Chains A and B, each alone.
Chain A
Amino acid sequence: MMIRRHFTYWTAVLLFILAPVLLQAAELASGQKFGAENEIILTYHAPVDKTTMQDGGMYTVFEESDPDIRLEVQKVGISGDGRSVSLLFAEPLNTAKTHVVSIRDAGGAEIESLKVAKSYIGYLLSILISALLVNNFVFTKYLGLCVFFGTSKRKTTAKGMGVVFTIVMVASALMSWFFYQFILIPYGLNFLQIVVFIGLVSLTVQAVDTILRKVNPILFNSFGVYLVLVIANCVIIAVPLIMANNNYSVFETFMLAFGAGGGFLLALYLMSSVRERLELANIPTTFKGLPIAFIVAGQFAMAFLGFSGLQLF
């Protein structure tokens, strides 16, 4: 009896999960993606009639933001099994934009409309990589330097600061996103950006401080000192401003904040490793302390220039 009940339960769940897949089967195409730089590849569930499908006029393709500009399909190629069609265009496509392919029958009525875009996960990861390495806030945007030079003397301090910073960064950036989207934009209060964002940061810092003090005093003793420093770090206010400028969605904001925090941690860790060794080195007296730290940071910055133009996705 028990087993049977479980069985029906699981079947229902399974059906629910598969529903979108099963429903989609009724449609013509099963997949769409960008091929070579001037190519879109469509795959079908079942082999299609080669002669009808080879007619270029069947397909209308345009960029989603420019629906009035039709891209000219130059050639239609069909694979041997008739299940995959490649559309070749006269000019390279701008793959950063979403393209819409609509398939029409001989009468001109639309059979199906497909959206072709680079995968969203890939886009999110590219934001993360960009904030972490390519546009590292410390080495290529020159933000958060006061705290960076202040807390990169020891590896342990560096790690503590980096972790606390990342947590506060993510929390405050998400709150900022919420306030920006649902309060600042609808009421036309964009000029209050600075006050609202910095207010949210201090709020987060205060909250983390209070919670940590009560919940885990040991952790607080080792990390509490860094909390105050977070407010004096420009990165924490730069991230919400960048988010507002680019009108990011909540996931994109998360990735940006996470990348910024991680990038800061990475920079601190690299720097502290070097500075621990520098203390043992024989440095001219005038360069001791901050001057040599700046020069090392400059070298790191040059190394990070090498990441520029990096595109994984």
Chain B
Amino acid sequence: MKDIFTIIIRLTVSCILAATVMGSAFIVTNKAKKHNEHVNEQKVRYALLGYSADKPIPDSMALHEVYRYIVSDKQSQYIGYLLSGKEGFIFLTLDLSGKVIDNKSVEVDEAKVLEKEERDKVVNGIVGAGKDAKFADQTIIVTNNGERIAYLLDGKFTGFKTFIGVMLATDPKFTLLGLEILEHEEDPGLGAEIEQDYFRNQFKGKTFEQLKDLDVVKEPLPDEYFQALEGDIAAEDAAKILKKYGDKDIYALTGATISSRSVNNGVKSIVKKFAYRLNILDTALAEQKIEVAF
């Protein structure tokens, strides 16, 4: 009987000790984690737009986030957009066929909007009781002196093993400017090659029309094309070769056709869905004469 008490006491003490260690580790690292994630995100975004630490983006450029929410009540669903207006944020609610239901300006700090939990709270406060808003995705509209120059799109789709997370950049006509693989768990040596330049860069420069029926071909990648994609040769020659292969489909990775195909389909559907939505959003904004920052 005495044993039981000593066991209980000692286990409790060790659990408390362990909890203290883990708790403090969590508190210390959580801030750094969020900061690093943010920095990393910025780096990927700038890289996709062709800027880096050596070549910072000009002051005239601005990145505007557009957050999409699915708002649902008992009977039906709506789409809500949280976007930056000329002054402060706007929350715009559209019904499923694109008609504007509601348009509210939102008083909120920009720092709060960047944090997902805080933003969700704010949005749920706006839609009111009885309605539930669920975060769907975020896109970034890049402007230079007020003119739109690019879109940055996030996406996640099933790969061969688990999920593949990507970020891609398109110009205002939805021509692809670049593709970055953020996370994946494909096999090393096979599917993991999706993150290599010679695969990713094949998507560069594909126009929206091309993208609509872009396919994956099971053919060996020509040597000169490979070198041009990897950036191994002089920029002028590379540009010529890239132009020559510009209207070709995507060459599948050796031994990883399924991974190649899922990236291709994923990219296609992200761009197509975005183009569809942006069209509806722009029409709605124009009809209502809502002034936005982009």
Contacts and interface: CB of A to CB of B under 8 A. Distances in A.
Interface of A: 62, 65-70, 94, 96, 135, 191-192, 195, 245-246, 308-309
24 contacts: A62-B96, A65-B136, A67-B70, A67-B77, A67-B79, A67-B96, A68-B79, A68-B94, A68-B96, A68-B98, A68-B277, A68-B280, A69-B273, A69-B276, A69-B277, A70-B97, A96-B158, A135-B161, A191-B26, A192-B22, A195-B22, A246-B162, A308-B160, A309-B258
Interface residues of B, number: 21
Contacts of B269: 94
Given A67-B77, A69-B277, A309-B258, 14 more contacts: A65-B136, A67-B70, A67-B79, A68-B79, A68-B98, A69-B273, A70-B96, A70-B97, A94-B269, A192-B22, A195-B18, A195-B22, A246-B162, A309-B160
A195 B96 CA distance: 45
A178 to B, nearest CB: 20
A20 B79 CA distance: 33
Contacts of A62: 96
A195 B19 CA distance: 10
A258 to B, nearest CB: 20
A145 B94 CA distance: 54
A70 B22 CA distance: 48
Contacts of B18: 195
Contacts of A309: 160, 258
Contacts of A65: 136
A201 B22 CA distance: 20
Contacts of B94: 68
Interface in B1-58: 18, 22, 26
Interface string B93-133: 01011100000000000000000000000000000000000
Contacts of A67: 70, 77, 79, 96
A289 B158 CA distance: 41
A49 B18 CA distance: 71
Interface in B144-162: 158, 160-162
B37 to A, nearest CB: 15
Contacts of A192: 22
A122 B26 CA distance: 40
A62 B26 CA distance: 42
B161 A66 contact: no
Q: Which 10 pairs of residues, A with B, have the shortest CB-CB distance?
A: A68-B79, A67-B77, A191-B26, A309-B258, A67-B96, A68-B96, A69-B276, A69-B273, A68-B277, A66-B273
A295 to B, nearest CB: 19
Contacts of A68: 79, 94, 96, 98, 277, 280
A266 B98 CA distance: 54
Interface string B137-178: 000000000000000000000101110000000000000000
A292 to B, nearest CB: 25
A246 B136 CA distance: 17
Contacts of B158: 96
B261 to A, nearest CB: 11
A308 to B, nearest CB: 8
Nearest to B26: A191
Contacts of B96: 62, 67-68, 70
A96 B26 CA distance: 37
A260 B38 CA distance: 37
A52 to B, nearest CB: 21
A96 B136 CA distance: 18
Contacts of A195: 18, 22
A246 B163 CA distance: 10
Nearest to B30: A191
Interface in B237-272: 258, 269
Contacts of A246: 162
B62 to A, nearest CB: 26
A67 B80 CA distance: 12
Contacts of B70: 67
B70 to A, nearest CB: 7
Contacts of A69: 273, 276-277
- Which of A68, A69, A70, A135 counts the most B-chain CB atoms under 10 A from its CB? A68
Contacts of B98: 68
A62 B97 CA distance: 12
A52 B161 CA distance: 45
A94 B266 CA distance: 11
Nearest to B29: A191
Contacts of B79: 67-68
Nearest to A66: B273
B157 to A, nearest CB: 9
B189 to A, nearest CB: 12
Contacts of B258: 309
Nearest to B213: A91
Contacts of B97: 70
A309 B269 CA distance: 22
